[in-house]
Structure 1
Amino acid sequence: MDWTQEDRHFTDDVRAFLSAELTPELRAAGRWMTSVYGDHELSLEWQRKLHARGWAAPSWPKAYGGAEWSVTQRYIFARERILAGAPPVSPMGISMCGPALLGHGSEEQKQWFLPRMLTGEHFWCQGYSEPHAGSDLAPLRMSAEREGDVLVCNGTKIWTTHANVANWIFCLVRTGKYDRPQQGITFLLIPMDSAGISVTPIVMTSGEHIQNQIFFDNVKVPLSNVVGRIDEGWTVAKYLLEFERGGSAYAPELQVRLGRVRELAIEAGGGLAEDPVFLGKLATAQARIDVLETYEFQTMANAAKGGRPGLSGSIMKILGTELSQHITELAMEAAGPYGLAFQPQAGMAGGPNRIPHSAGPAIGPRAASIAPLRYFNDRAGSIYAGSNEIQRNIIAKAGLGLPTATA
């Protein structure tokens, strides 16, 4: 891609900002993160710096505090952020609930919630998955019955990232029963300090506490917190999921990570850096990332004309998450024996590690020590935001007009 002169000036501006504002602690939070999300407190600190510059919400309209960047500017910033080692901002509010409110919320909801998302005063989590409804959300059971001017919510949500630190949750709840399970679902905003809400940690096999299960026992939520119309929340949910699956490019991060695998192969020794078989694997991965990047450029061009992610979101989600998993496999190979030890102290996860481990320095190159942590964490990439099998069904049905398999 041939960047314009304006794009090059913007790139210089971004680099100057990153150089001035990124502390060593913030760079470490981005460079050594082992989870989908960065360290909670440091991510919030970084969000406050972005907000002070007016850059916390790249795609939002300026009227609501956003930067209103072009898709090209968003791509440039994503690439430069990753190269500089800055941590990501939690996407739950600004990149997911925010666009849902901009697309379907009332003006009162926008004026109340959006400024507080930008400052970090409201920190959000997502209430979609349930024990019996994950990638296929339509059978969800959490009920919300109307009593006067409130909805009384009962049920549970599971695999809820950062529910232990969030003070708001956007939920899909069952407000009606119809022939089609997608009907009768409502998109609801619930304060986490509401009476009747309890949060139970889910500790992963890696020891990290990031996920949680939430229980709702007669939780009363005002009707004014419904986004869109009652029983028509599926439309809002689909709109949000387009941004979760394909609202940002995968290729910039994948390019940087693959380059670091090359560096690790040299640092860890063992001869892999000169091994033609391993070099062939790296070249193949590079070609696949380049193909994805070209597709993302095409998607950017469509978005620049006012288009939405649509099916492109599903395609990018499949290619991006599966390539990400493949890079973790290459990193494990490059780490060699150093990747066999459990050394969570070498990384910076999105939450504390509950398994007893050494507090001392990691053995071997730090990048090798975090390779297994990233490998195991990234197994979830092809499941979250709708499993890749579901994405392939969406593409087959909506994009190609093919019948899809049913259970």
Structure 2
Amino acid sequence: MGLPVDVSTVDEETFRGQAKAWLAENLVGEYATLKGRGGPGDEEVGFEIRERWERVLGEAGWIGLGWPVEHGGRNATVGQQIIWAEEYARAQAPGRVNHMGENLLGPTLIAHGTEAQRERFLPGILRGDERWCQGYSEPDAGSDLANVKTRAFLDGDQWVINGQKVWTSLAHVSHWCFVVARTDPGSSRHKGLSFFLVPMDQAGVEIRPIIQITGGGEFNEVFFSDATTEADLIVGEPGKGWGVAMDLLAFERGISTLAQQVGFERELDHLVSLAQANGRATDPVVRQRLVDAHIGLQLMRWNGLRSMGAGVPGPEASISKLFWGQWHSDLGELAMDLTGPEAMIAEGFPYELTLDQKLFLFTRSETIYGGSNEIQRNVLGERVLGLPKEPNPS
């Protein structure tokens, strides 16, 4: 590939050229057949091919690009990470299969894990052959994560875990799960929670896929029934996992959101072309909606760049989540309106959907998952603007 181990000294123009050249050279054959596939609502398409693609990325050093060199990364600058994310999206490379490992758990272990934990888990993520899922949400603890009821206790040289998680993305194809569980029986809310690394391949873990309205099964219920993990696979101190869990969520709203926006740009360009092709672009209301979508996309990008310049986002990151969730939901509705009555007809029997139909159906969830719009507004009101907390009806 010709890149040095530490790429931080490579100027951005040169780096962009290297990224584009590598993608053009390697995004061929079976990988090229999945261009633009594997995104939201389309996660199960070509999964085995995308697994192989992940290993290709790992061999070439494109996983963990921004991690420090001493932890197997390339020490890429924020600007370089944005460039890679942009070029990856513009090349329409296949949807990644280990976002949770690379962008969430890896940085969390670098910040909070022990040296033994980093040595054990970071290489598998960097190679692209060890996948992770997130054990946060529960039936009574979604946007209100502090209501976690899953419990864990130390029994000799292992932790024993009991409880239920839900909406666990890609649990059915993951090797490990990072799990938030309550280790102090008398605790409540944010106190007494711990952060564990739990193997999925064991008798005490049951995974039940949840079939989505898009027809896929990315989400899962996960039941822990005396599931175990080693005593030293707790990240941070027992009972102090809330801070670890929140730092992980801050990483989630970092660089990867800018790559997401390049995908949004591609979707909007497609809708503009659709409107021009079917004559709806002449409708002044449609034109205004397309212009509004374009303006929103630019605002989203500028806010993302501002957030990156400020370092790891704090509660202000809720601005981004609130904005893009609503923007993308509106874009899904626009896709259906531009398609017209044909939007009600599946592409094939019995339930083969077009990408536009999957876009619309999946975006119904985006104002809910990752913290609902209502929760984001509470975070901004209380923790950013300093407003009084919402009254407790009890």
Alignment equivalent of 1:58, drawn from 57, 65, 68: 65
Contact 1:199/1:213 (CA < 8 Å) preserved in 2?
yes
Alignment deviations for residues 117-152 of structure 1 (CA, whole Å, 9 cap, x no partner): 122332111111111111101111111112122111
Aligned position for 1:235: 243
* Residue 263 in structure 1 maps to residue 263 in structure 2: no
2:37–2:95 contact (8 Å) kept in structure 1: no
Q: Structure 2-normalised TM-score?
A: 0.90
Greater RCO (Cα-Cα under 8 Å, separation 6 or more): 1
**Cα distance change on mapping 1:37 and 1:112 into 2, 3 Å:** farther
The aligned amino acid for 2:60 is R
1:403 counterpart residue number: 388
Aligned length: 379
Gaps of 5+ in 1: 346-354, 363-368
- Shift of the 179–108 alpha-carbon distance from structure 1 to 2, 3 Å rule, reads closer
Q: What is the match of residue 275 of structure 1?
A: 283
What's the TM-score, normalizing by structure 1? Answer: 0.87
Cα RMSD for the two superposed structures: 2.1
Contact 1:197 / 1:217 at 8 angstroms: preserved in 2? yes
After superposition, the C-alpha distances for 1:368-387 in whole angstroms (9 at most, x for unaligned) are x3212111112111222222
Q: 2:90 pairs with 74, 78, 83, which one?
A: 83
Q: Which of 295, 313, 320 is the equivalent residue of 1:316?
A: 320
Distance in 2, matches of 1:202 and 1:220, equals 24
Q: Give yes or no for contact 2:152–2:159 (8 Å, CA) kept in 1.
A: yes
Change (3 A) 1:15 1:281: same
Taking the aligned partners of 1:235 and 1:312, their CA distance within structure 2 comes to 17
- Residue 289 of structure 1 deviates from its aligned partner by 1.2
Partners of 2:110 and 2:84 in 1: CA distance: 22
- Please say which of residues 150-159 and 5-14 is displaced more in the overlay: 5-14
1:392 to 369, 377, 383: 377
Q: CA deviation at 1:11?
A: 1.6
Cα distance per residue 1:242-275 (max 9 Å; x no partner) = 12234432432222221111112234x1x11222
Give, in whole Å, the separation in 1 of the partners of 2:230 and 2:70.
27
Q: Which position in structure 1 is the counterpart of 2:14? A: 9
Give the alignment partner of residue 379 of structure 1, picking from 364, 383, 387.
364
Counterparts of 1:4-403 in structure 2, within 5 Å, are: 6-23=11-28, 25-33=30-38, 35=40, 38=43, 39=45, 40-89=47-96, 90-178=98-186, 180-248=188-256, 249=258, 250-267=260-277, 269=278, 271-302=279-310, 307-343=311-347, 356-357=350-351, 369-403=354-388
Following the alignment from structure 1 to structure 2, what is the Cα–Cα distance between the partners of residues 382 and 243? 19
Distance in 2 (CA, whole Å) between partners of 1:132 and 1:339 is 35
- Rounded Cα–Cα distance in structure 2 between residues aligned with 1:27 and 1:377: 24
Q: Distance in 1 between matches of 2:373 and 2:20?
A: 35
Match of residue 366 from structure 1:
none
